[in-house]
Amino acid sequence: MRLQLSKLAVIISFYVYTIAATNRSRSFVCGKRYFAAEVVSKSLENACLALKCSDVSCRFTAAFDGSKLFGIQDAALFSVPTTVCYGHQYAGGNLLHRKNSANRVNSRIVIDSMCNLVGLVYRSKSSYYRCEETIDSYHGSTVISENESKISTKNFAYRCNGKVFLYQDILSSYEFLKEKLSSSAETKARVNTIKINSPQFGGNEIYLWSIYGEGDVRKYECKNAGPYRIAVNKAKDILGLAFRNKANWFRCIEMQSVDSKPPRAIDGTKNSIGEALFDNISPFKCGYKTFSAITLNSHMQAACRVIQEDTDKAMTRDLSFPMPDPAEKDGEGSTRFWPIRQLEKGDDRTSLKRRNIFIKLNFSCEFLGVYIRVGDEFLECQKLGTYLPTNE
């Protein structure tokens, strides 16, 4: 018991640490879609509520393998669609898999078992891609806090009234236009250069060039990019991007991408992202599904976080564990079941069957095995292999 209480203390202390360590507002670009910090914050709140709910009413919460996109090899992550709110007041099938639906959600917020934001990803066909985390840069000056001075950044994109232009596309378009404007009267006429004086560019005289397409260079094809223009000085040095709103021109916000890494713990009682390593966890097989010790350990971390919260709320009986062990009388025992989230795939016809496998644990955060629910019964799955190594 003393060992398990110590384990709970580690969980709680890490939870407090990571809240303090990840309180920076974070914005992202997925493809060319911008997610402002306030949108990400709301999505994170909804994702945490969805992961917390142990009655699997949230069909959209899924496990996520972060080894390739985030370099996290020793923990399971969790994904929730960015625009699906807690409560899921949608009808008409699974929005994540309807091929012809304009409402299908392709972006996901990725969190760890302690509800820390890992990042955003977006889905294209059957593959996932990591979204770029961004920091706004005003007039070439990146705004970051003092304790983030070592963050690695690079030029990434321009944001013009919500529309995103990738930096490399604009740079390619600029270099192409600069060359053609120096040698071709025909190109000069088609670009239709505009000259203005703008306080947002230091009050200097600047020149605005049309953008080729959406910033992509297509030789001999100059498309009207609407109110968006490349801003250059008299020497034809690029200054940024500008957009027109009615009769006025405004400077676009420059965005830099951030190479943001999760906290790395060197304590032998935790894995690389700080999850406690629980005792006696080994792989299990339920039917044709096999769950690694790493996956089960992350689910234990998520469940134990809620156990601690429920302990604090026990007097109000506002608890998040609605699934007591049916073998215990009136659900008054100390064991509970927590759902194992599986990788996102399939559709609503198969998703229900994929939400019936659970870890069993008690209020002291002891791992008691993996079970599959058949009707009102929980049947134990087959234990495999070796235990997850711990340094106790």
Segments making up each domain of the chain, as ranges: 2-138+260-383, 162-251
Residue 239 has what pLDDT?
93
Residue 202 in this model has a pLDDT that exceeds 90: no
Q: Which two tokens stand for residue 53?
A: 């709910």
Answer whether 210's CB lies under 8 Å from 243's CB. no
Which of the listed ranges 210-214, 238-242, 343-347 does the model predict with the highest average pLDDT? 238-242
* Residue from 161, 173, 151, 174 nearest 257 by CA: 151
The CA distance from 368 to 383, in Å, is 11
Residue 296 has what pLDDT?
96
Query: pLDDT over 70 for what percent of the chain?
Result: 65
Residue 88 has what pLDDT?
40
Answer whether 6's CB lies under 8 Å from 276's CB. no
Answer whether 80's CB lies under 8 Å from 46's CB. yes
- The percent helix, strand, coil of the chain (3-state, each to 5) is 25, 30, 45
Instruction: Tell me the average pLDDT of the chain.
Output: 76
If pLDDT is split at 50, 70 and 90, which confidence band does 294 have? very high
Query: pLDDT over 90 for what percent of the chain?
Result: 31
Lowest mean pLDDT among 82-96, 175-189, 361-375: 82-96
Burial 277-293 (b: 16+ CB within 10 A, else e): bbbebbbbebeeeebbb
Longest C-alpha distance within the chain, in Å?
88
Residue 177 has what pLDDT?
84
If pLDDT is split at 50, 70 and 90, which confidence band does 101 have? very low
The CA distance from 150 to 304, in Å, is 33
The amino acid that residue 223 corresponds to is K
- The architecture (CATH level 2) of 2-138+260-383 comes to Roll (3.10)
Answer whether 308's CB lies under 8 Å from 12's CB. yes
For domain 162-251, give the fold: Nuclear Transport Factor 2; Chain: A, (3.10.450)
Residue in this structure with the two tokens 């392709």, named with its chain if needed: 106
Domain 2-138+260-383 and domain 162-251 have a common topology: yes
Residue 392 has what pLDDT?
37
Angle at CA 71, nearest 5°, toward 68 and 76? Answer: 85
Residue 240 in this model has a pLDDT that exceeds 50: yes
* Residue from 368, 271, 293, 284 nearest 327 by CA: 368
**If DSSP codes are grouped into helix, strand and coil, which group holds residue 294?**
helix
Residue 10 has what pLDDT?
44
